[in-house]
Amino acid sequence: MMINANLKKIEQLLVSSQVVFTVQDLAILWKVSNKTSLYSNIRYYLGTGRLKKIHKGVYVVGELDDINSFEVAQKLIIPSYISHYTALATHGIIFQLYSSIHSMALQSKQLTMFSKNKKFVYHKLKEKVFYNMLGIEDKKKYLIAGPERAICDSLYLASGLAFDSLKMIDFDLLKKVSKIYDNKRLEAEVERIISLERS
C-alpha cells in the first residue's frame, strides 16, 4: 500500500509542468500538511534517487543537466524575477554572457547551487518598484524582466551601463518604466539614451 502511495506521489511530480520544487510546492502538490510526513516522503524520494536536492529546501525531478537555471533562480529566493545582466543578454541588449544568473528580489544575496556549482545573484529592489509588474514577462515557470524593464533595473543598479543593441526597444515603454523607480538620475539616463537613439 505504501509503495502505491509513493508511486502516485512521484507520478504527480513527473506529470507536473514543473521540474523544480520547494518544500512548500511538494506539500501543496502532495496535499500533505503534516511536516513529519512531508519530510519522510522527501527523504524516501531522495533515497531512491527520483528526487534530487539542489539547494536547501529546493528539489528537482529528472536529470540535473536538463533543469532550467531560470526556474531554479525563481525557487531559491521567493519572490524574485530574472533581470539585470541575465535578462539583458537574453534579450540581445548586451552581447557578453555571464555565467551567474542575475535576479531582482527584496534582498541582496548570492547563492551557489550544490549540484552544478552555479551562482545565483540577487539584487535588492525597493518593494514599491519590485511589486510593480510593468515590463515583467510571465513565462509560466519563471518571471523575467522584458527588455525595457531589464534596462531600467540595470541602470538603477549601475549608472552609466553601456548597451550593445537597442534595436528592439519600445522607447515609449522604456520611458514609462523608468518613472516607477522615482529616481531622477535613472530617468535622466533613460532620456539621454532615447535622444541618442532617435537622433
pLDDT one-digit tens code per residue, 107-156: 999 988 755 668 999 999 999 999 999 999 999 999 999 999 999 999 99
Same domain, 95 and 41: no
Q: What is the pLDDT of residue 114?
A: 57
Residue that terminates a domain, selected from 66, 88, 121: 66
Report which listed range, 42-51, 53-62, 122-131, is most confident. 122-131
**28 phi, psi to nearest 5 deg:** -70, -45
Residue that terminates a domain, selected from 66, 87, 105: 66
Same domain, 18 and 95: no
Q: Percent of the chain at pLDDT above 90?
A: 69
The predicted model scores a pTM of 0.86
- Cα separation of 189 and 7, whole Å? 56
Same domain, 73 and 164: yes
pLDDT one-digit tens code per residue, 10-23: 777 766 778 899 99
Same domain, 87 and 114: yes
CA 116 to chain centre: 17
Residue 55 — pLDDT band, cuts 50, 70, 90?
confident
Same domain, 109 and 29: no
Same domain, 102 and 189: yes
3-state helix, strand, coil split of the chain in percent (to 5) is: 50, 20, 35
Q: Percent of the chain at pLDDT above 70?
A: 93
Instruction: Quote the mean pLDDT of the chain.
Output: 90
C-beta separation of 55 from 119 below 8 A: no
Tally the domains of the chain. Answer: 2
Same domain, 43 and 121: no
Q: What is the pLDDT of residue 14?
A: 67
Closest to 71 measured CA to CA, from 122, 146, 142, 15: 142
134, exposed or middle or buried, with CB in 10 Å at 0-12, 13-18, 19+?
Answer: middle
Same domain, 178 and 85: yes
Question: With the CA atoms of 170, 161, 146 and 67 taken in that order, what torsion angle do they form, in degrees rounded to the nearest 10?
Answer: 150
pLDDT one-digit tens code per residue, 64-116: 777 889 999 999 999 999 999 999 999 999 999 888 999 999 999 998 875 56
Residue that terminates a domain, selected from 12, 45, 66: 66
Q: Which domain holds residue 28?
A: 2-66
Q: Under 8 Å CB-to-CB from 65, ≥6 apart: which residues?
A: none
**CATH code for the domain of 38:** 1.10.10.10
Q: What is the pLDDT of residue 90?
A: 97
Same domain, 157 and 89: yes
Q: What is the pLDDT of residue 145?
A: 98
Same domain, 55 and 75: no
